[in-house]
Amino acid sequence: MTGRRILNLVDRVQAGVGFQPVERETYTFSVGGKEFTYDVHAMSLTRGSKPVADDPGAGFRPGFPHPSCRSHVDYLVLYLTRRCNLLCSYCFVEHGSQARMSSDTARRALELLLPPHRNVTVAFFGGEPLLEWGLLTEVVELTKRLHQGLGKPSFHVTTNGTLLDADKVAFLDREGFDLIVSLDGPRDLHDANRLGPDGTDSYTTTLEGLQRLRGTRLASRTTLRATYTPDVMALRERLDHHHRLLDQGLCRHMTLEPVNLVGGEKSFDSPSVDWDAVDRGIGDAARFLRDRLRQRRRASFESLATFVRHLAFREPACGVCHAGNGYASVAPDGAIFACHREGPSRIGHLAAGGLDEAARAPWLDNRYYLSAKCNACPIRLVCGGPCRQDAVERGAIHAPAESGCRLRHIQFRWAAWLLSELSRSEIAQLTGRRGSTCCGQNP
């Protein structure tokens, strides 16, 4: 921070030593027809001379928790199979692979990586993990036998939803699973990228699977995940579709995420990306959320809601995830990765004893200030830095991808606009947070 000397533990602070005031750092921007000034250090917004946020008190200071170095994995992702019954055009898993995890590999991962006396989550991923239903149920029972933590282990599965039948839904509901279902929006948007191997559409089958959640507790633990590409944003259409399913009681949350491709015309790295169109798309999503909340209806869009929460409650985001430090993914062959997207994030192998501490070292501290680019960015306290997997896939773990930074700046600006439009109760409804430091402008 400009004008500030960082103290180390070895520094001796003498009584009576005076400190020079930190130079104020501000960021001024326009969005949605409004002008904002953001105070970087105080994490506060103003429009002209009028604060967007109530002053939470002079005692505010951003916290910078130091992440502990974890020898075990609290959130373990098991890549049950690379097979899938769909051929999604932007999938990062190699098409055609028949690799599947064995029972012995799954058991070894649980025994070697999970902590013996802490709460844990085991997640199932693929490919399509429901293709390995027998292994999934076996791992659930094994985890419950092995786990000795304070509470029951948690379970999570990411699926395309096409294989959800009554028996599977009953099991997932009974075991308290959290569920992510990949659904890109209305039929035309979904089937444009998610067709079956024979060219048939998958929208109808996915909707049939979701309909089986009606009336279950599992529906309240289900998130719909849409993937969008820069050439076809259509965020408002996707949100409108998903919220209709929410209104029907088929899900509780939704997230719309940019495609993870590195390079190519559908990638956000492409020089042909129309960033003005991307900005308009995020703006349409922000207006949709505002309109839903003003109608006293539930609204969900995690990317924008997270920025709103950090701004409204002045919660600094010092990092974006715990990949490699408390979070790890195990491939069918026993390779261990920091991120479920694998790629260049390998940090060990079950056959070699588990985590390779030398390979894991770059992932242990995910705080934004390890990046020179993030340190110079005005939204660093709200952002926490874009995805490190994106960065490492493009060359360096502490050099954020330019496309990721541009997208998060757009999200930040529209989150500021959305915050200025919402009442205190609407902010609490969107973010799931209540408290005396909630900074909604309107009563």
User: Domains of the chain: which residue ranges?
Assistant: 75-312
C-alpha–C-alpha distance, residues 330 and 396, integer Å: 23
Q: What is the pLDDT of residue 4?
A: 40
Place of tokens 């075990």: 72
pLDDT, tens only, 183-218: 999 999 999 998 877 778 899 999 999 999 999 999
Please give the pLDDT value at position 10.
40
Q: Quick: pLDDT tens for 402-420.
A: 999 999 999 999 999 999 9
Highest mean pLDDT among 54-63, 74-83, 93-102: 74-83
CA angle 256, 301, 46 (to 5 degrees): 120
**pLDDT value of residue 441:** 34
| 117 or 74, which is more confident | 74
pLDDT reading at 372 higher than 80: yes
Q: What is the mean pLDDT of the chain?
A: 87
358 CB burial (10 A radius; 0-12, 13-18, 19+): exposed
Separation CA 267–CA 260 (nearest Å) = 7
Q: What is the pLDDT of residue 433?
A: 75
| pLDDT of the residue at 95 | 63
Q: Which CATH superfamily is 75-312 part of?
A: Aldolase class I (3.20.20.70)
- List the structure tokens of 12: 């001796």
SS3 103: helix
Q: What is the pLDDT of residue 348?
A: 96
* Contact (Cβ atoms closer than 8 angstroms) between residue 45 and residue 52: yes
Q: What pLDDT, on a 0 to 100 scale, did the predictor assign at position 304?
A: 95
Which 3 state secondary structure label does DSSP give 232? strand
Alpha-carbon distance of 336 to 349, in angstroms, equals: 5
pLDDT band at residue 53 using 50, 70 and 90 as cut-offs: low
